[in-house]
Amino acid sequence: MATERLTMQKLREILRQKLELRRSHREVARALMISAGAVGTAMTRANALGLDWPAVSELSDEALETRLYGPRGGKRSGRPLPDLLRVHLELRRPCVTLALLHLEYLEQHPDGYRYTAFCEMYRDWLKCRSVTMRQVHVAGDKMFVDYSGKKPRIVDPETGEVTEVELYVAALGASSYTYAEASFSQTVPDFVASTGRALEYFGGASAAIVPDQLKSAVTTACGYDPEIQRTFDEMARHYGTTILPARPRKPRDKAKVEVAVQVAQRWILARIRNQTFFSLAELNERIRELLVDLNNRTMRAYKKSRRELFEEFERAALRALPEAPFEYAEWKKARLNVDYHAEFDGHYYSAPFTLHGQELWLRATASTVEIFAPSGRVASYVRSYERGKHTTTKEHMPLAHQKHAEWTPTRILAWAETVGPNTKLLAEAILRDRRHPEQGYRSCLGIYRLANRYGHERVDAACARVLLAGGRSYRHVSSVLKHGLDRAPALDIGPRGPSISHGNVRGSGYYH
């Protein structure tokens, strides 16, 4: 009795410090050497009853105890028992606690069991349930996903070849509402697409998605800090949820979906064992039909179906889906090559040359390619499927390269014509004779710089001399100008007679 009296003294002191002194939970807990949780529980009951300090101070210890916890007494027969299954289900609603449920129980049964006995009865009831059922999942909190070890099959209608496919299963934590579909593989595209369709089937997103640590969900497995696969993480952010991978070799972390997989195997795979499907679409159509029956079946433990529980309290707790579905994007780490381009699917995309050597991320959808540096996005392109080709943004090039890139054959010839007819003829010959166009660009740009230095008249004269001599390069024009040969008399390259007189030297007339 002394202990009970002491407990009431502490309870009264909790109420005094909170209601009259307005102290924080932690301050009260330190002063009375109790937990902050005990302070919170006492205040929950007092606030639910609308008690203030003047009202508490007028009550005796016995009256206060009865008001807060109900009348004294053990588990005597004849007292109304709480509906423990309802208690278990109500605890799945957000913010619902045993203290609140006990208060509601006392409102219906004022002579019911006190709080301690109420909690003991609930704990005893839980011990008789399965391990999975003992976990209390809050509505809208988690969606568990996994693949079945047992696989359905499809048959090629032409060859008769049998192919095993994957069975993807997702289940909501609070209601066990289940989704299942078949896919060709467990790869990232299939896994992300299946998860997106599961969210659409549920009509909303839970606060977290709990997958196994398969490669499509986790790139680096770890019990404490796993690295989430980039595309899967992006999908989660698109739907306003987060990824909480189960710990490796800890099946109880995802016991909800382990049971859902077993149920799917028994009520879907077992029922189609004697049926033949010739396409994935045909198989998934049948799975959808069986899902309706699976979710409408009454669960013995809850006396309700998964759909009833979902509609009762979980649907409203899910987060609304965005208007646009998630667009699948592939992420790839890359470094810029020396030509400030990064490769994706055989095509090369430019990024600022100053990022050379840094680690970048490429994000590719069916229509776009984006390049990200640690500071953010640095480039965006329409995706090209031409392998071996380059897509370049001028601003990404060094200044010298930018000036070089501005020149095209048409522009070079137009400039050469302004210098003179001989310059244009030489430029045409240079562009025509080079194996790679850019080799011709460099030579013509060198002549362009010579025109700025020596003037158009001298350069055109030099080009005429080079053409007569059969030259085809910037070096020939530069040499002519350097030695002043452009001012020398024109070369005579017409027909000539023999330079010496000798019996063995016949000359061109001999052959006529």
pLDDT digits (tens, 9 = 90+) for 89-120: 788 777 778 888 888 888 888 888 888 888 88
At residue 438, does pLDDT exceed 60? Answer: no
Q: Which residues in 199-346 belong to E strands, given as ranges? A: 208-210, 218-220, 227-228, 242-243, 298-299, 304-305, 330-335, 341-344
At residue 192, does pLDDT exceed 70? Answer: yes
Q: What is the pLDDT of residue 389?
A: 81
Domain locations in the chain?
2-134, 142-317, 330-398, 407-487
Helix residue ranges, H only, 265-420:
280-296, 306-309, 399-405, 409-419
User: Residue 179 phi/psi, 5° resolution?
Assistant: -130, 145
State mean pLDDT over 273-288: 93
**Per-residue pLDDT reduced to its tens digit, 214-232:** 888 888 877 777 888 889 9
**Per-residue pLDDT reduced to its tens digit, 75-87:** 445 678 888 878 8
pLDDT band at 1 (very low <50, low <70, confident <90, very high): very low
The CATH number given to 142-317 is 3.30.420.10
Of residues 221 and 450, more confidence is placed in 450
Of residues 490 and 456, more confidence is placed in 456
Burial of residue 439, with CB atoms counted within 10 A of its CB: 0-12 exposed, 13-18 middle, 19 or more buried: middle
Query: Which residues, including other chains, have CB under 8 Å from residue 172's CB and lie 6 or more apart?
Result: 142, 143, 144, 202, 206, 310, 314
Q: What is the pLDDT of residue 111?
A: 83
User: What percent of the chain has a predicted confidence (pLDDT) above 90?
Assistant: 30
Distance of CA 320 to the CA centre of its chain: 18
Q: What is the pLDDT of residue 76?
A: 47
Rounded CA-CA distance 195/325 in Å is 12
Residue 14 has a CB neighbour count (10 Å cut-off) of: 24
Query: Which residues, including other chains, have CB under 8 Å from residue 349's CB and lie 6 or more apart?
Result: 341, 342, 343, 362, 369, 371, 379, 381, 390, 391
pLDDT band at 337 (very low <50, low <70, confident <90, very high): confident
Q: What is the pLDDT of residue 3?
A: 32
Collapsed DSSP state (helix, strand, coil) of residue 431: helix
The amino acid at residue 95 is: C
Tokens of 294: 């699976």
State mean pLDDT over 160-180: 93
Rounded CA-CA distance 465/27 in Å is 100
Q: What is the pLDDT of residue 69?
A: 67
8 A C-beta contact, residue 96 and residue 58 = no
- Backbone Cα Rg of the chain: 41
pLDDT band at 470 (very low <50, low <70, confident <90, very high): confident
Rounded CA-CA distance 69/72 in Å is 8
State mean pLDDT over 23-41: 85
Q: What is the pLDDT of residue 496?
A: 47
